[in-house]
Amino acid sequence: MEEETLKLPLPDAFVDFLDANGLDPSIYSQTDSTPRYIRLKPGCESALEEIEADMECKLEKVDWLPGFYSIPPTVHIANSRSYREGKIYGIDAASGAAVSALNISAGDRVLDLCAAPGAKLCLILDLLGELGSVTGVDVARHRLAACRTMLQKYELGDHCRLFVADGTTFSLTPIRDHPDSKSCDSALGEKVERFKEWTSRRTWKERKKAARDRENAAMNPGEPELIFYGRRAGVVGLSKDELYHTVCDSEILSCGYDKVLVDAECTHDGSIKHIQKFEHWGWKTLQRRVLDAERTDNLTVLQLKLLSNGFRLLKAGGFLVYSTCSLTIAQNEDVVEQFLKENASAELLEIEAAKSWPCRSGWIPKTLRFDPVTSQTSGLFVAKFKKLEN
Ligand SMILES: C[S@@+](CC[C@H](N)C(=O)[O-])C[C@H]1O[C@@H](n2cnc3c(N)ncnc32)[C@H](O)[C@@H]1O
């Protein structure tokens, strides 16, 4: 096994990182044979043969995850016509499992707190269908802009709104109907500006206003910046005050989100494809940007804050999935343990569907770990919680 590990171009810094975190490098030994995964856009199942011809490979159904197919690791998805035409998505099966753990059902109001670039967000929207809504949040504007492009490409944005915001402090609950708004203007008879249908083609006046909003957002870094909303995301017709209306924590128990996904920022060590990108960018960059001990300490603080805030925004009886593509205990089980200590209303749940998934238990019972050797997927940690009704 050791010999096989050596064949991989794993930089010393990464091997040291694995060692310091008690991770066995042999889980990366089969990386070259780990398949890629795609998911068919719902409705494109009948085009399977056409997609296979286009991709010049057989699509093997993933029997444990509906809608997912594996393809050989050498096939490049982005070059295919099927991908350009929005018939397939590139998404690892372990990522699909994290979303599947949420048990999305029609009508759910979902929060995706670290949404960009949006692979999981698109899956949530596909599962949601015509009812419910999704709020996507990410702190990185350029990454969330890429997510918006993805929603447009797959024509998925109708029920979605996207905010550039810090997920550790984001406080907006799902949009409720405001029976006393929309029809009437302010009590003083002033004309209140209301959100019109979102369009990427904007007039000069609207572009100027958007630039002003961005400047304001830069001056008020705590304020979420809305960069996209679909026709049926509940935003059209609201005033800014209504959109940015926040409620106290006790009210969130009744009007919070039904489901929350916290796919937290991490060191990405479970995704060897991500690590291998640094072969081109330079291993020093990997050490500085990803593995630096001080940075990883800060990351675990960030992860706990994201998880705690995501949980705060959940209604009583709602469900949250926490996932990372790191396999270190510090970013996963330790975060979960600390979170459970601090949140008496959080219950760690067994993930029912996982009985048929090719993964291992995490170091805390009920948590899950996917890795290339056990699962033939990228590495991923998944934990699911329920917010208890007090
Ligand atoms: C693992 S990626 C999310 C991948 C995404 N869920 C998907 O399926 O495509 C983590 C994301 O967290 C975002 N992030 C980092 N710090 C954040 C914060 N304080 N608030 C919100 N998002 C944050 C990063 O910009 C990054 O896009």
User: Tell me: the pLDDT tens digits for 46-81?
Assistant: 999 999 999 999 999 999 999 999 999 999 999 899
pLDDT band for 20, please (50, 70, 90 cuts): confident
Q: Is residue 229 part of a domain?
A: no
325 is catalytic: yes
Q: CATH no. for residue 98?
A: 3.40.50.150
Give the span between the Cα atoms of 8 and 243, in whole angstroms.
50
Which residue, judged by its Cα, is nearest atom 2 of ligand 1? Answer: 265
Residues in the chain: 390
Position 182 in a domain:
no
User: Do the domain assignments include residue 209?
Assistant: no
Give backbone dihedrals phi and psi of 71, rounded to 5 degrees, phi first. Answer: -135, 160
Q: What is the ipTM of this complex?
A: 0.99
β-bridge pairing 314-324 and 257-263: parallel
User: Which pLDDT score, from 0 to 100, does residue 49 have?
Assistant: 96
* Structural domain count, the chain: 1
Residue 151 lies in a domain: yes
Contact 217/223 with Cβ under 8 angstroms? Answer: yes
In a domain, 363, yes or no: yes
Q: Which range marks the domain in which residue 128 is found?
A: 12-33+93-175+245-387
Is 362 part of a structural domain of the chain? yes
> d(Cα 45, Cα 47) in Å, to the nearest integer?
5
Closest CA to 149 of 166, 168, 136, 165: 136
CB 68 within 8 A of CB 127: no
Asked if the model's pLDDT at residue 233 lies above 50, the reply is yes
Q: To 10 degrees, the CA torsion angle through 123, 126, 130, 131?
A: -30
Task: State the DSSP code for 292.
Answer: -
Which protein residue has the closest C-alpha to ligand 1 atom 6? Answer: 115
Percent of the chain with pLDDT over 90: 69
Considering only CA atoms, give the Rg of the chain: 22
Residue nearest to atom 19 of ligand 1 (CA): 166
Give me the pLDDT at residue 257, please: 98
pLDDT confidence of residue 219: 64
In tens, the pLDDT along 300-332 reads: 999 999 999 999 999 999 999 999 999 999 999
Read off the pLDDT band of 179 (50, 70, 90).
very low
Does some domain include residue 216?
no
DSSP strands (E only) in 6-72: 36-40, 60-61, 68-71
Name every protein residue with a CB atom under 6 angstroms from any ligand 1 atom. Answer: 95, 114-120, 137-140, 143, 166-168, 263, 265, 302
User: Which residue do the tokens 């393809």 mark?
Assistant: 71
Distance CA 199, CA 125 (A): 20
Q: Is the pTM of this model over 0.80?
A: yes
130: CA distance to ligand 1 center in Å?
26
Is 169 contained in some domain? yes
Is 263 among the annotated ligand-binding positions?
A: yes
